[in-house]
Chain A
Amino acid sequence: MNKPLVLVVEDDTPVRNLITTTLKTHEYRYLSAQNGAGAVMEALSHNPDIVLLDLGLPDMDGVEIIRKIRAWSNMPIIVISARTEDSDKIGALDAGADDYLTKPFSVDELLARLRVTQRRLALMKADTPQESPIFTNGALKIDYAAGCAYLDGAELHLTPIEYKLLCLLSKNVGKVLTHTYITQQIWGSSWENDIASLRVFMATLRKKLENRKDGQQYIQTHIGIGYRMLRIE
């Protein structure tokens, strides 16, 4: 199997060197670009498998680059931004980015995100023909047709909202969904009270899913950003 090709877009040389060195030592193929224009060019000409995109580029807004790429490709995009800029991350995720990394990040974290994205990529390729009526992820099984969810073969007792949330997350497994996106999908609105409600429902849903001895985590909370369902091996 071909090693995935990663496009690294980062204007800061030491950080770019850090990322490319990491990629090289872990046997990824990579391309690099220092600015937005270069990034779009590289993406167009080489069609990389994954894009690592720094949001603070000198020439172009990160969200704009995402929109440009999304115009013709579904390639996974992981954005990189500083910790204090939550709103940037949300903007990027809503524009179509798949995941984000917060500076300063560790090498382990970077590699973990890449692995998650690769799995998602593999799944996307396998599942594309038609949507399977049964979703399985670790011990979790969702039968969309019957409207039932099972954990370890036992049916989960979910409220209608919890079930809707679970379906939404499972259909976007591996992808970070923002609060705004989820509330829009579930309630059609995104008021502050909706987001507060969402947190409560997510907390109860997680309790029902993860209240097991193996401590397996299915739903990841991203404070101030949103939620993601993790793909379990």
Chain B
Amino acid sequence: MRNTTSRPEKEHILVCLSSSPSNERIVRMAGMMAQAFCGSFTALYVQTPEDAAMNAEDALRLQANIRLAQHLGAEIVTMHSEDVPTQITEYARLSGVTKIVIGRSGAQRRHFWSEPTLTERLIALAPEVEIHIIPDAEVYKNIHRKRPMAIRPVLPSFRDLLLTVGLLAAATTVGWMFLRQGFASANIIMVYLLGVLLTSAFTSGYTCGVLSAFLSVLLFNYFLTEPRLSLAAYGSKYPITFAVMLAAALLTGTLAAKLKAHARLSARDAYRTKLLFDMNRQLQKAETPEEIYQMTATQIQRLMQRDVLIYPAHAHALPDGIVYPADGTGARSVASEEEEQNVIDWVRQNRKRAGATTEVFPEAKRLYLAIRTGQQIYGVVGILIDQKNQPDAFTSSILFSILGECALALESLRNAEEKEKAAVLAKNEQLRANLLRSISHDLRTPLTSISGNADTLLHCYDALDGPTRQQIFTDIYDDSQWLTGLVENLLSVTKMTDGSVKLRLSDQVLEDVVSEALRHVDRRAKEHNIIVDCGEVPLLARMDAGLIIQVIINLVNNAVKYTPAGSSIRITAVQREKAAEICVSDDGPGIPDERKERVFEMFFTGGNPIGDSRRSLGLGLTLCQAIIHAHHGEMTLKDNSPHGCVFSFTLPLSEVNLNE
């Protein structure tokens, strides 16, 4: 449940929520502490079986306290357990709580027959956590006295009463038969106890069980003890019998009722756990915020059967909302109404609930809740609600949990996105560093050769014979040409590895692109036989012409470099379904299989140059592949038959409406 998992040095303050009126003060104190320590703040509500029977006044107070805690910046956590202190310490340990704030009287009211107070048990269970006790006694006493009266205002239903009377009558009849048979009175008491047990089990609440317990004693006394048909009893043992019977009956009755209440709570708990588990599992599969919103809306609909409106928060503005109708029809975007917009903005800015059934904008049509973790808001949920159909405490707590799950999922999605971005950035940095290292090394070689050769010509021109001069000039020219090619490639690389590739796409005739590229290939290409075949029908492909020309130049230059003079280099362009395929094939020695996989790697060089020792940066093919991928094409390397290799790549075909 926790998300702002505190770093060890950070204070984490936990306050226990309850329906007690003194709780408000405790929550406020805890909130102040959290602020003073700049720590994270969690409000924990442990639901006990008794809470199911909470009266309306208490329920309202509890909700007010929950809201107050939320208002103070606390994260609300609801847990279910019978053993409050164990649950609190368990939670405190798991989420690294450093301080627990509770009221002085926190323990007594939770248990009917409490022995050690909550505080005492907390101290015993969690000795490592600081416990702050806030005095709250005087407020608490006034309320506590009223409490037993207020507990069960519910009158038993007619059916329950009928059942009670029927069971009592049956017990009395059986008892009378036992008496006639001369059985001991203990057996008859057993029959009555069974009656009380059955009554408690089949009626709702304690009332019928307790009623049945008293009536059993009376009936037993009236019908089945001497003197019959009178409430008087002979013999000194009877009052004790009655007392024991009453106690046993009361105990049986209340225990059975408690068991039932517990079972009901367990069922609720199971439902809630299942709902949240389902949601959690689904949310983990979600890949976009939209999916998360959709799932959240579906869960809220299942819970409340109402239309759900979600306003995703992008950066700092809320776009139009998405409405998810309760009848399951598709989600659609809606522009929000003017008056509701104020409420939504308020919720977004204050990260608190507002709208119908709250104090803020109570005239709004919907109840608006923030989807948030800590201080980060991810969206606003609007639920159509009116004063009459307010959700009960259980529904609201599930609603909070759903929103919490949703916020967590959105947060982790955002975190994952950021992580991915950082990874891409790091990879680009790495690439750039490698590139620079390699380039600065590789630039030096031709520059040394150019400046050295020029120096020789300047100073020893006359000492050199004609062919030597010619050779030196050729070397200078070749090196500068090599540098030119390198610079062109580098320009393309910077364009590509910037992370944001901005292709200047246009529709180009492939034949033109190929012939343009051939004007810029290595001049040694003249020693090769270059054949171009682009078919009869002009093929138009969508591309960044400059980059694709660079790809073709690199491929042809590679072919020129790695094949002996006189080899054939064939450039073809054909249509393959919705793509154009351009192949550059040669009939040179080819590339061995073990090298094929590596040729597209950066800084991988062929290593076995044919004819001369041209340097290579191992950049060309990597760049080609990157360019083709940026065009959503594929680049492949195959063997040519009988020997040589074929580099081919695809480009998307253009769809052009000819303006005749």
Contact = CB atoms under 8 A, between A and B. Distances in A.
Contacts of A83: 488
Given A83-B488, A196-B540, A202 B509 contact: yes
B484 A199 contact: no
A193 B659 contact: yes
A83 B492 CA distance: 12
Given A159-B660, A196-B656, A199-B540, A224 B546 contact: yes
A200 interface: yes
B448 interface: no
Contacts of B507: 192, 195-196, 199
A195 B654 CA distance: 12
B512 interface: yes
Contacts of B480: 104
Contact of B657 (A187, A193, A195): A193
B484 A104 contact: yes
B506 A195 contact: yes
A90 B546 CA distance: 15
Contacts of B654: 196
A161 interface: yes
A223 B511 CA distance: 11
A84 B546 contact: yes
B131 interface: no
Interface residues of A, number: 25
A193 B480 CA distance: 40
A187 B507 CA distance: 18
B658 A200 contact: yes
A161 B660 contact: yes
A133 to B, nearest CB: 27
B545 A204 contact: no
A42 interface: no
A94 interface: no
Contacts of A193: 656-657, 659
B657 A223 contact: no
Interface centre among A199, A202, A207 (most CB of B within 10 A): A199
B656 A197 contact: yes
Interface string B130-174: 000000000000000000000000000000000000000000000
Contacts of B656: 193, 196-197, 200
B509 A203 contact: yes
Interface in B626-660: 654, 656-660
B538 interface: yes
18 contacts: A86-B546, A160-B660, A187-B659, A193-B659, A196-B506, A197-B657, A197-B658, A197-B659, A199-B507, A199-B509, A199-B512, A203-B511, A207-B536, A221-B512, A223-B508, A223-B512, A223-B516, A224-B506
Given A199-B508, A207-B538, A221-B516, 19 more contacts: A84-B491, A84-B546, A104-B480, A104-B484, A161-B659, A192-B507, A196-B540, A196-B656, A197-B659, A199-B512, A199-B538, A200-B538, A202-B509, A203-B509, A203-B512, A222-B516, A223-B508, A223-B549, A224-B546
